[in-house]
């Protein structure tokens, strides 16, 4: 589908679909080519005359794409992760890259709570038991969140929203974030502590850090062994922050009583012993997948794209 307002100076190519309300924002100021499911080959042919591209996670905006897009000024990710955009190539070609980092905060925080409650009350096992006709009432004794300590690694947007929600359940939140002052961590709803302290105190540990060279493999065998025997761990951040082999061993030994994972070292995850493990609750990277978050991401990115095209400074520039 292509729409062209009179005298529009710009063409925006949407390659992974976008909500109607966001397309309407774009159409007020630009021509829009909506090509959901466009193949990589067709994408290469569609780039001349395009000033902006909006993607979600599917389209790979590679160095070749930048090279074949002589008029490109901005790439927008309707969401948070920009792993599918070659940021170096964008910089080299002077193309701005923007994302919508605030759009999914509530969704991810709520999904973290859903995983926390699923672990505490073993809801997946209870549900699958009933589907098999088994009444597992006696076997499925859970634990209460109230009075337990939640260790939060990364007290940014999502970490602090999780702290607020967990506090509502009567949990004591302990937070580690080396980029924030103790006062700021306290303001965001957690008792500040160093990582060792968080690991030692947490009944449940939840991770809300980006994947960086420092956080890759951050939760390894040694750190898991520092945790309370029988603690739980949740990750809705990124695969590879937890060393999956070490986690599997800790689950097997009982050092870790249960884990809830929305993200994996390899995605889509297919044949992983972790996914099939009885002490693991997992979801296929759906933490941000709510109607509200996707709508917010789409509208935020449409506004960001027009801001850049107008020559103004965007709110969320990543390159
Ligand atoms: P944010 O930038 O607001 O917060 C991240 C926090 O981590 C920052 O405060 C930063 O100081 C802190 N941090 C960085 N390195 C650290 C380290 N080594 N140790 C401890 N803290 C560290 O980001 P956010 O919006 O809260 O998102 C957090 C992460 O959640 C994202 O980076 C992304 O990987 C993930 N995420 C996942 C989904 C999903 O669908 N599962 C969706 C959105 C975001």
Catalytic residue among 134, 252, 267, 292: 267
Q: Which of 35, 111, 157, 285 is catalytic?
A: 285
Q: How far is the CA of 159 from the centre of ligand 1 (A)?
A: 8
The CA-atom distances, in angstroms, between 288 and each of 61, 81, 163 are 21, 11, 18
Active site residue 188: no
Q: CA-to-CA distance for 76 and 18, rounded, in angstroms?
A: 12
pLDDT range class, residue 7, cuts 50, 70, 90 = low
240: left (phi > 0), else alpha (psi -120 to 50), else beta?
left
| pLDDT score for 205 | 99
Task: Please tell me the predicted confidence (pLDDT) of residue 131.
Answer: 98
Query: Nearest-CA neighbor of 216 among 192, 239, 186, 191?
Result: 239
How many angstroms does the Cα of residue 7 sit away from the middle of ligand 1? 41
Report, as an integer, the average pLDDT of 89-97: 98
Residue 216 has a CB neighbour count (10 Å cut-off) of: 13
Atom of ligand 1 nearest to the CA of 218: 18
User: Which pLDDT band holds residue 226 (cuts at 50, 70, 90)?
Assistant: very high
Q: What CA–CA distance (Å, rounded) separates 148 from 228?
A: 12
pLDDT for 41-71, tens place per residue? Answer: 999 999 999 999 999 989 999 999 999 999 9
Measured distance CA(254)–CA(110) in Å, rounded:
27
Query: Would you state the pLDDT for residue 4?
Result: 54
176-192: pLDDT as tens digits: 999 999 999 999 999 99
Cα 308 to ligand 1 centre (Å):
25
Give the predicted TM-score (pTM) of the model. 0.91
For residue 118, the model assigns a pLDDT of 98
Query: Looking at ligand 1, which atom is closest to the CA of residue 153?
Result: 20
| Predicted confidence (pLDDT) per residue in 255-284, tens digit | 999 999 999 999 999 889 999 999 999 999
| Residues whose beta carbon lies within 6 Å of some atom of ligand 1 | 80, 101, 104-105, 108, 153-159, 176-180, 208-212, 214-215, 236-238, 262-263, 285, 287-288
CATH, domain 2-103+291-309, list 3.90.226.10, 3.40.190.10, 3.30.70.980, 3.40.50.720: 3.40.50.720
* Secondary structure letter of residue 32 according to DSSP: E
Q: Please write the tens of the pLDDT for every residue from 108-153.
A: 999 999 999 999 999 999 999 999 999 999 999 999 999 999 999 9
Tokens of 263: 């993200």
- In terms of C-beta density within 10 A (0-12 exposed, 13-18 middle, 19 or more buried), how is residue 8 classed? middle
Give the number of the atom of ligand 1 that is nearest the alpha carbon of residue 210.
Answer: 32
pLDDT band for position 6 (50/70/90)? Answer: low
Q: How many angstroms separate the CA atoms of 190 and 184, rounded?
A: 9
Return the pLDDT at 271: 86
Catalytic hit among 238, 244, 296, 299:
238
What does the alpha-carbon distance between residue 24 and residue 305 come to, in Å, rounded to a whole number? 13
Q: Is 285 a catalytic residue?
A: yes
Beta bridge partners, 76, equal 54, 98
Predicted confidence at residue 263, as pLDDT, reads 96
| Domain 105-282: homologous superfamily in CATH | NAD(P)-binding Rossmann-like Domain (3.40.50.720)
- Atom of ligand 1 minimally distant from the CA of 286: 40
Task: Let me know if 135 is exposed, middle or buried by CB neighbors in 10 A (0-12, 13-18, 19+).
Answer: exposed
Residue 5, pLDDT > 80, answer no
Query: Please, where in the chain does CATH 3.40.50.720 lie?
Result: 2-103+291-309, 105-282
pLDDT value at residue 279: 97
Question: Is the per-residue pLDDT at 303 higher than 80?
Answer: yes
Kind plus residue range of the DSSP H or E element containing 63: helix 63-67
Taking CA atoms only, the protein residue closest to ligand 1 atom 36 is 237
């Amino acid at each position: 589908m292509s729409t062209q307002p009179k005298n529009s100076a710009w063409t925006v190519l949407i390659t992974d679909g976008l909500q109607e309300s966001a397309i309407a924002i774009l159409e007020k100021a630009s021509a829009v080519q909506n090509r959901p499911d466009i193949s990589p080959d067709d994408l290469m042919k569609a780039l001349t005359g395009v000033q902006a591209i909006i993607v979600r996670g599917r389209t790979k905006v590679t160095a070749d794409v930048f090279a074949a897009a002589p008029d490109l000024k901005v790439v927008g990710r309707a969401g948070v992760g920009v792993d599918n955009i070659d940021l170096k190539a964008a910089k080299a070609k002077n193309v701005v890259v923007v994302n919508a980092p605030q759009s999914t905060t509530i969704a991810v925080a709520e999904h973290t709570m859903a995983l926390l409650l699923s672990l505490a009350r073993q809801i997946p096992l209870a549900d699958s038991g009933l589907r098999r006709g088994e009444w597992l009432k006696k076997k499925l004794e859970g634990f209460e969140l109230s009075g337990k300590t939640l260790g939060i690694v990364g007290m940014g947007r999502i970490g602090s929203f999780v702290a607020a929600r967990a506090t509502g359940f009567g949990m004591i939140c302990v937070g580690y974030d080396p980029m924030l002052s103790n006062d700021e961590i306290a303001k965001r709803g957690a008792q500040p502590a160093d990582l060792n302290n968080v690991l030692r105190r947490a009944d449940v540990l939840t991770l809300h850090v980006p994947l960086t060279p420092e956080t890759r493999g951050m939760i390894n065998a040694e750190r898991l062994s520092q945790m309370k025997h029988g603690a739980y761990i949740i990750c809705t951040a990124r695969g590879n922050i937890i060393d999956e082999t070490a986690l599997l061993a800790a689950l097997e030994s009982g050092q870790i009583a249960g884990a809830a994972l929305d993200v994996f070292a390899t995605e889509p995850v297919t044949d992983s012993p972790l996914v099939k493990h009885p002490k693991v609750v997992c979801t296929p990277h759906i933490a941000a997948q709510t109607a509200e978050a996707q709508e917010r991401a789409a509208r935020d990115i449409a506004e960001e794209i027009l801001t850049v095209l107008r020559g103004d400074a965007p709110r969320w520039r990543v390159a």
